[in-house]
A and B are shown apart, each in its own frame.
Chain A
Amino acid sequence: MKTAAAKCRLLSLAVCSLLLAGWSGTWETLQRESAQLTSVKARFKQSKNMRILSKPLVSTGSFYFKAPDAVRWAYDAPVKSILLMHAGTVKRYTQGADGLSEDSSAALQSMNVMLEEIALWSKGRFRESRSFSAELKAGDGPTILLTPRDAGLAKIITGIEIALAPDRPGVISDITIREGEGGTTVFHFSDVVLNQALDDNLFRRP
């Protein structure tokens, strides 16, 4: 359970952190622009495709980031769930029969280890990631391709593609995560607001 949860969280953090990346023509400018980012607020639509489904399984929610490392990743539907990261602690709350309750899984502790990864990615320093190698493909719709460095991780995630909005520097439009066996998850971000003042309590309380 711990390993799966850790890898799940790696995926979660990858998605969270990738949203922080800004558009640039080169790694250097991307890093420079990302360093100026103080906060992100966005809506997301998550579409899961896999063999057993006849149509995509859609989840929706909101995403908040505040530099240097505070994250609130909240699902509204179909399952209400809130993941909070603040000051090195990680908590997840899920809607149950008795309201929101905290995930007691000890594996959540492994989130702390991943904060190091987030710190790198949030600064646009993808090439320094110990989990993924990064390739930047320029064009009208520039794309960052991430490939797992570790064979174990590659069995779970075969690759990640991040599409940057061509008409709005600093905004990610879509992230596609490939799992192999035809399974993919696409995150589409909308209503993105950058560098707005966000209350710390947003990252402390569900």
Chain B
Amino acid sequence: MKKNNSAGRWCALAAAVAFMLACAGPRHIRSEPVNPALCRLPFTSTSCRYIHSLDAELPGGRMTVMGVSVIDPAADTVQAALMTLESLTLFDATAAGDRVEVHRSVPPFDGPEFAEALMRDVRFIFMFPSGPLTASGTLDDGSSVCRYRESEGKTVDVIVHPGQGWEVEEFSVLRKKLRSLKISALKNGYPGELDFEALSPKPYALHMKLISAETVAPGDKK
């Protein structure tokens, strides 16, 4: 019984620490000149098609699927499809602005909120923040950071770790961390690996490994 109580206290402590970290809010920025182009570098400015393997850590277990994403920043559209390794299409949708059109969804990827949430995450992963730059400078560890104000009072920080990739963190208006992304150093102009984590409302994590990337010519968007 004593052991159980002790274990319980440790769990409560761990949960409290995790909660505090999640609520720690955006990092302190020391105001210094930063080249915003460095923050923009891992994000495409032209229309691109990416194919990734996605290693998903979900509450129900781990699974690996393949994902296809077509990102068009100029048109503000995102297309995304998920398929099993055996090529069975699980999900296929297009988002233009706030409007999401689902072409195919297989249970349990057919829930009413799944499509909108997934397309928001795809946009977060591949698209540069659309809001205004509100601050820039360096963090305590010397990394450069660009801070953007997004809709609904959200804050997005793009942190540059020279030669080692980027980090993107999104916080709510209440300073709660919502999503984070680690972007590896570029290889042939594209990030080879991405680590995405959604913390709220439903936590899940994705490790994405690039299979192929190509620019999409106008008129080639299907």
Chain A residues packing against B (C-beta within 8 Å): 1-5, 7-8, 11-12, 15, 46, 48, 50-54, 57, 59, 75, 78-79, 81, 94, 96-97, 101, 103-107, 155-157, 177, 179-181, 183, 185
Question: Shortest CB–CB separation between residue A30 and chain B, in angstroms?
Answer: 24
User: What residues of chain A lie closer than 8 Å to B55, measured between beta carbons?
Assistant: 94, 96
Which of A7, A53, A59, A101 makes the CB contact (< 8 A) with B88?
A7
Chain A: interface secondary structure? mixed
Which of B19-27, B63-71, B133-141 lies at the interface with chain A? B63-71
Check A3/B107 contact, CB under 8 A, given A52-B68, A106-B60.
yes
Q: Count chain A CB atoms within 10 A of each CB in B70, B86, B109, B207 and give the residue with the most.
A: B86
User: What residues of chain A lie closer than 8 Å to B81, measured between beta carbons?
Assistant: 50, 52
Residue B103 is within 8 A (CB to CB) of chain A in the complex:
yes
Chain B: interface secondary structure? strand
CA distance A11 to B87 in the complex (A): 9
Residue B30 is within 8 A (CB to CB) of chain A in the complex:
no
Chain B residues packing against A (C-beta within 8 Å): 49, 51, 53, 55, 58, 60-64, 66, 68, 70, 79-81, 83-90, 92, 103-104, 106-109, 207, 211-212, 214, 216, 220, 222
Would B86 and A97 count as touching, CB distance under 8 A? no
Check A181/B103 contact, CB under 8 A, given A5-B63, A52-B68, A94-B64.
yes
Which of A11, A97, A106, A180 makes the CB contact (< 8 A) with B207?
A97
User: What residues of chain A lie closer than 8 Å to B104, measured between beta carbons?
Assistant: 179-181, 183
CA distance A45 to B55 in the complex (A): 23
Top 7 closest A-B pairs, CB basis? A105-B61, A48-B87, A185-B87, A94-B64, A104-B61, A8-B84, A3-B107
Would A8 and B88 count as touching, CB distance under 8 A? yes
Question: Shortest CB–CB separation between residue A76 and chain B, in angstroms?
Answer: 12
Would B85 and A79 count as touching, CB distance under 8 A? yes
Would A179 and B85 count as touching, CB distance under 8 A? no
User: What residues of chain B lie closer than 8 Å to A15, measured between beta carbons?
Assistant: 86
Look across to chain B and name the residue whose beta carbon is closest to the beta carbon of A104.
B61
Pull 23 A–B residue pairs with CB atoms less than 8 Å apart, ordered by A.
A1-B63, A8-B86, A46-B87, A48-B87, A52-B70, A52-B79, A54-B216, A78-B51, A78-B66, A79-B64, A79-B85, A79-B211, A97-B207, A103-B63, A105-B63, A106-B61, A107-B61, A156-B88, A179-B89, A179-B104, A183-B89, A185-B86, A185-B88
CA distance A15 to B84 in the complex (A): 14
CA distance A20 to B171 in the complex (A): 54
Would B53 and A79 count as touching, CB distance under 8 A? yes
- Number of residue pairs spanning A and B whose beta carbons lie under 8 angstroms apart: 115
User: What residues of chain B lie closer than 8 Å to A180, measured between beta carbons?
Assistant: 104
Look across to chain A and name the residue whose beta carbon is closest to the beta carbon of B49.
A54
Look across to chain B and name the residue whose beta carbon is closest to the beta carbon of A94.
B64
Look across to chain B and name the residue whose beta carbon is closest to the beta carbon of A12.
B86
Question: Shortest CB–CB separation between residue A48 and chain B, in angstroms?
Answer: 4
CA distance A8 to B106 in the complex (A): 10
Question: Shortest CB–CB separation between residue B61 and chain A, in angstroms?
Answer: 4
User: What residues of chain B lie closer than 8 Å to A54, measured between beta carbons?
Assistant: 49, 214, 216, 220, 222
Given contacts A1-B61, A15-B86, A179-B88, 20 further A-B contacts (CB under 8 A): A3-B106, A7-B88, A8-B84, A8-B86, A8-B88, A46-B87, A48-B87, A50-B81, A52-B79, A53-B49, A78-B51, A79-B66, A79-B85, A96-B64, A103-B62, A105-B60, A105-B63, A107-B60, A179-B104, A180-B104
